[in-house]
């Protein structure tokens, strides 16, 4: 039938081009993978359809807990939630690409300057109408943390958690340790642990951000909350005597930190705490993720010790995690409905039932079902004079990721060259904040 | 058969004799498309971004606003990179070390493997498969595998050496003095297999008669290799060199997967990514870093192209 002799180069080219054109045409058909809800016409009173949800809750326990909260929503409303989970650290690093590409309708993010930065650039939709519904459940401080630089709200809080010095009660009882109230007691306690064969402070900084907790607390205890916030905003010099004192204080503690931190992730360091090989760890309440349910009852914390009596233990580092609405959502009505649900006490309680290593942001959440450690964390935060978010949420993201992560890692390798280090940070800060 | 050359040529596709330059319309369309489409693709995806990067490297832009939000700042980015950006000079050094290491160690090891496996020993096919297997694994997976091998407390190397206690722990990936070399071993593991296959193909082209003649004359194996085999591999050497330079300058995946390219594993490609795709979004700064990497890459390209054209003429 088909005569091979007739197959000239020309005919092959024609068939090939026809094939390409057909393939291109077909690919154009399949671009719409998200069925859009009827959010755009606004006439429907009850939201429906599908809402896409970008989440960074990649560790096992938070992932299960979030799914439980979303299942609760799917049952009560008619809306289907399409959950996309991305690895936690990767999500933050890709956020620029993600928000400028085709982001999910609702995405997980953090309060503080890190949220205001992206809201200011128009990458999120303002949700003041959602806040009109849920505003009654939140204090002024939470509303401020959720407000963008233009005075409108962009963020719905979900949960928060304090950073503190965590330990196992059984280890402290067995060796007769007492929580340290000030810096000298802290050093003495670490010394004692070392002579008892424990690693005093479990420590990991391969991902760069865990060490920020220690830095933030040392800064707030040494120089006070106002100086810390000012420094994060780029209004103070890193070469000032105050900052150098912070690094010198840290240098005194460094011998008690776990060796080889730059090659270890925080989950493995927390394992040392679980295995009773380490005595303490400066970490957030989510360190409980690494404990089994039974072991978690043995977990306890004390607030980071006082260094300068003028500042005492006033400030607490308690980052708020929550959700935002992306700039051009496919199903805006349903997405706002979902955000209202997540900002409410019910969703937060369902979440905390599965992942009890956080505290509900809503003041109407039922705290009677809290474990003892959650109650203690709740009291710590509500009693705090000032609350900070975390270094990488209180300052510009480009400063935190390109300058501070390598700088702190360099300090951990070479703790003696503080002058050179702060000079380099100050020069880069001026270049970025300019 | 005499043909009247003054007559117009017939347009039948079967006639072998055709005057150059007299193409039919259909032919012209075909040629235009066959040259034009790839040209357009190369211009759009290679030349345009390169030129845009060079232009943007003189700006300060966060990539989010429109083009009118670009702020032109001259050579400030370059000055900052060279003077106050701590990861830059280590990254520059590491890129050059990576290039030198790949050219010297896995390449010669690949050649040795190829030479040995060319001898038709028993099971040579099996050995070839074993050595080539890492090549088919993507570099990101290579990074992941070696991360497990090098893990401080749980990894294979430390447990075999017995160095898992806090006192004598060897921190392969966390110690900036040794982690680059640890990662280079992982890269060489993959690269050697690649080179081995290239040289195996090249060795097939060596005339066995010459080798026999050398053996009869009593030449040692090393002498025969130096004078007969290696010169015959010259065309393969060029390919191997190009491949090695490409792999070295392209190095990114292994390092990124292990620790995002920090703490001793800095590379220029990772710095570009950190500044452009990471949360930082400093397009101008990242473009300046990319231009520096481009300049480094152009040097071997120019050398290679000059060499290739010189030979042709």
**Model pLDDT for residues A293-347, shown as the tens digit of each residue:** 899 999 999 999 999 999 988 889 999 999 999 998 988 999 999 999 999 999 9
- What is the predicted ipTM? 0.74
Q: Which residues pair with A201 in a beta bridge?
A: A257, A280
> How far does the CA of residue B109 sit from the closest CA of chain A (Å)?
30
Q: Are A145 and A321 in contact (CB under 8 A)?
A: no
Q: Which of A263, A402, A407 sits opposite B280 (nearest CB)?
A: A402
CB contact A258 to B (< 8 Å): yes
Smallest Cα–Cα separation from B273: which of A101, A94, A424, A262? A94
Q: Are A84 and A374 in contact (CB under 8 A)?
A: no
The pair phi, psi for residue A172, each rounded to 5°, is -65, -40
Name the DSSP class of A400: I
Q: Which helix (H) or strand (E) holds B307?
A: helix B283-312
CB contact A13 to B (< 8 Å): yes
Specify the residue for token string 């032919």: B27
- Domain locations in chain B? 87-281
pLDDT for position A44:
45
Q: Which residue of A has its CA nearest to B164?
A: A260
In chain B, which among 19-58 make CB contacts under 8 A with chain A? 26-27, 30, 33-34
Q: State the helix-helix crossing angle for A332-342 and A60-76, rounded to 10 degrees.
A: 120
Q: Are A95 and A55 in contact (CB under 8 A)?
A: no
Quote the tokens at residue A218: 């040392």
> What CATH number should be reported for the domain whose range is B87-281?
1.10.3720.10
Contact A262 B280 (CB under 8 A): no
Instruction: Give the pLDDT mean for A54-66.
Output: 92
Percent of chain B with pLDDT over 70: 92
pLDDT for position A340:
92
Instruction: Write out A66-121 in H/E/C secondary structure.
Output: HHHHHHHHHHHCCCEEEEEECCHHHHHHCHHHHHHCCCCCEEEEECCHHHHHHHHC
CA B89 to chain CA mean position, Å: 21
**Radius of gyration (C-alpha) of chain A in whole angstroms:** 25
Specify the residue for token string 């091998």: B149
What are the helix and strand counts (H, E) for chain A? Answer: 21, 13
pLDDT for position A30:
43
CA A147 – CA A153 distance, rounded (Å): 4
User: Is it the case that residue A43 has pLDDT exceeding 80?
Assistant: no
CB contact A199 to B (< 8 Å): yes
Express each pLDDT in A150-173 by its tens digit. 999 999 999 999 999 999 999 999
Q: Which of A199, A401, A409 sits opposite B263 (nearest CB)?
A: A409
CA B70 to chain CA mean position, Å: 33
- Residues in chain B with pLDDT values less than 70: 1-21, 166, 311-313
Q: Which of B30, B279, B281 sits opposite A13 (nearest CB)?
A: B30
**Exposed/middle/buried for A57, CB within 10 Å: 0-12, 13-18, 19+?**
buried
Quote the tokens at residue A292: 């089994």
Beta strands in A246-338 (DSSP E): 278-284, 299-302, 315-317, 320-326
Express each pLDDT in A367-415 by its tens digit. 888 889 999 999 888 888 888 899 989 998 889 988 999 999 999 999 9
User: Is it the case that residue A88 has pLDDT exceeding 60?
Assistant: yes
Q: Considering the entire predicted model, what is its pTM?
A: 0.80
Residue from B267, B280, B282 to probe the interface with A (highest A Cβ count within 10 Å): B280
CA B144 – CA B135 distance, rounded (Å): 15
CA-angle at A107, arms to A101 and A109, nearest 5°: 110
Q: Are B145 and B177 in contact (CB under 8 A)?
A: no
> How far does the CA of residue A222 sit from the closest CA of chain B (Å)?
27
Percent of chain A with pLDDT over 90: 57
Specify the residue for token string 């590379």: B267
CA A392 to chain CA mean position, Å: 9
Q: Are A320 and A142 in contact (CB under 8 A)?
A: yes
Residue from A239, A263, A391, A422 to probe the interface with B (highest B Cβ count within 10 Å): A263
Q: Which residues pair with A257 in a beta bridge?
A: A201
Percent of chain A with pLDDT over 70: 93
Contacts of B121 (CB under 8 A, 6+ apart): none
> What CATH number should be reported for the domain whose range is A163-317+396-433?
3.40.190.10
In chain A, which among 301-340 make CB contacts under 8 A with chain B? none
Express each pLDDT in A218-233 by its tens digit. 999 999 999 999 999 8
Question: What are the start and end residues of each CATH 3.40.190.10 domain in chain A?
Answer: 46-161+319-388, 163-317+396-433
Smallest Cα–Cα separation from A385: which of A225, A240, A201, A252? A225
pLDDT for position B214:
81
Neighbours of A52 (CB within 10 A): 22
> How far does the CA of residue A1 sit from the closest CA of chain B (Å)?
20
CB contact B173 to A (< 8 Å): yes
Give the mean pLDDT of chain A: 88
User: Is it the case that residue A130 has pLDDT exceeding 60?
Assistant: yes
Contact B62 A259 (CB under 8 A): no
Smallest Cα–Cα separation from B109: which of B92, B88, B93, B131? B131
Beta strands in A136-266 (DSSP E): 155-160, 163-168, 199-201
Yes or no: domain A46-161+319-388 corresponds to CATH 3.40.190.10: yes
Q: Are A366 and A73 in contact (CB under 8 A)?
A: no
Residue from B30, B36, B73, B86 to probe the interface with A (highest A Cβ count within 10 Å): B86
Q: Which residue of B has its CA nearest to A261?
A: B174
Q: Which of B262, B263, B280 sits opposite A397 (nearest CB)?
A: B280
């Amino acid at each position: 039938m088909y005569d091979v002799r007739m197959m000239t180069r020309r005919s092959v080219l024609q068939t090939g081009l026809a094939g390409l054109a057909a393939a291109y045409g077909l690919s154009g058909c399949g671009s719409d993978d998200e069925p859009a809800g009827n959010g755009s016409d606004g006439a429907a009173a009850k939201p429906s359809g599908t809402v896409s949800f970008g989440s960074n809750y990649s560790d096992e326990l938070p992932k299960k807990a979030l799914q439980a909260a979303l299942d609760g929503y799917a049952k009560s409303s008619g809306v289907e939630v399409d959950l996309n989970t991305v690895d936690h650290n990767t999500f933050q690093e890709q956020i620029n690409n993600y928000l400028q590409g085709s982001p999910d309708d609702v995405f997980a993010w953090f309060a503080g300057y890190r949220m205001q930065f992206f809201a200011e650039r128009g990458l999120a939709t303002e949700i003041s109408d959602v806040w009109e519904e849920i505003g009654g459940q939140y204090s002024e401080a939470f509303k401020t943390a959720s407000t963008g630089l233009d005075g409108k709200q962009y963020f719905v809080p979900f949960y928060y958690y304090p950073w503190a010095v965590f330990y196992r009660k059984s280890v402290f009882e067995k060796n007769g340790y007492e929580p340290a109230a000030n810096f000298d007691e802290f050093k003495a306690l670490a010394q004692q642990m070392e002579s008892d064969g424990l690693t005093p402070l479990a420590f990991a900084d391969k991902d760069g951000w865990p060490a920020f907790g220690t830095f933030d607390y040392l800064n707030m205890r040494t120089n006070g909350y106002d100086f810390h916030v000012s420094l994060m905003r780029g209004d103070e010099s890193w070469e000032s005597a105050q900052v150098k004192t912070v690094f010198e204080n840290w240098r005194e503690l460094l011998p008690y930190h776990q060796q080889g931190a730059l090659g270890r992730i925080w989950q493995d360091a927390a394992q040392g705490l679980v295995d009773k090989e380490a005595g303490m760890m400066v970490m957030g309440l989510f360190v409980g993720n690494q404990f089994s349910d039974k072991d978690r009852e043995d977990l306890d914390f004390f607030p980071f010790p006082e260094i300068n009596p003028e500042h005492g233990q006033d400030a607490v580092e308690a980052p708020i995690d929550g959700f935002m609405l992306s700039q051009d959502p496919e199903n805006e009505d349903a997405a706002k409905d979902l955000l209202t649900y997540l900002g409410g006490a019910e969703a937060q309680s369902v979440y905390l039932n599965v992942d009890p290593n956080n505290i509900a942001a809503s003041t109407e959440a039922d705290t009677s079902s809290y474990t003892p450690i959650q109650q203690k964390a709740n009291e710590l935060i509500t009693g705090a004079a000032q609350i900070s978010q975390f270094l990488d949420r209180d300052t510009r993201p480009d400063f935190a990721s390109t300058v501070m992560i390598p700088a702190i890692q360099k300090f951990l390798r070479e703790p003696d060259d503080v002058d050179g280090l702060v000079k380099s940070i100050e020069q880069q800060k001026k270049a970025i904040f300019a | 058969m005499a043909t009247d050359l003054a007559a117009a040529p017939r347009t039948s596709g079967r006639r072998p004799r055709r005057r150059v330059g007299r193409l039919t319309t259909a032919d012209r369309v075909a040629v235009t498309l066959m040259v034009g489409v790839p040209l357009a693709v190369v211009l759009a995806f290679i030349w345009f971004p390169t030129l845009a990067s060079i232009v943007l490297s003189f700006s300060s832009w966060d990539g989010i606003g429109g083009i009118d939000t670009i702020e032109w700042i001259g050579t400030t980015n370059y000055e900052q990179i060279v003077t106050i950006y701590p990861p830059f000079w280590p990254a520059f050094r590491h890129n050059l070390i990576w290039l030198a290491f790949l050219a010297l160690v896995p390449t010669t090891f690949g050649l040795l493997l190829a030479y040995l496996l060319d001898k038709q020993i028993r099971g040579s096919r099996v050995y070839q498969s074993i050595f080539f297997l890492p090549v088919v694994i993507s570099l990101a997976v290579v990074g992941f595998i070696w991360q497990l091998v090098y893990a401080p407390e749980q990894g294979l190397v430390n447990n075999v050496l017995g160095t898992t206690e806090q006192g004598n722990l060897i921190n392969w990936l966390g110690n900036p003095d040794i982690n680059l070399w640890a990662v280079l071993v992982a890269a060489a593991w993959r690269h050697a297999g690649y080179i081995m296959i290239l040289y195996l193909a090249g060795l097939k082209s060596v005339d066995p008669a010459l080798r026999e003649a050398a053996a009869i004359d009593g030449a040692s194996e090393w002498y025969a290799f130096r004078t007969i085999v290696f010169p015959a591999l010259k065309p393969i050497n060029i390919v191997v060199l190009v491949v090695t330079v490409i792999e070295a300058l392209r190095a990114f995946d292994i390092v990124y997967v292990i620790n995002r390219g920090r703490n001793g594993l800095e590379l220029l490609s990772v710095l570009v990514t950190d500044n452009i795709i990471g949360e930082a979004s400093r397009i101008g700064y990242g473009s300046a870093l990319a231009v520096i990497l481009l300049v480094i890459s152009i040097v071997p390209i120019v050398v290679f192209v000059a060499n290739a054209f010189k030979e042709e003429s």
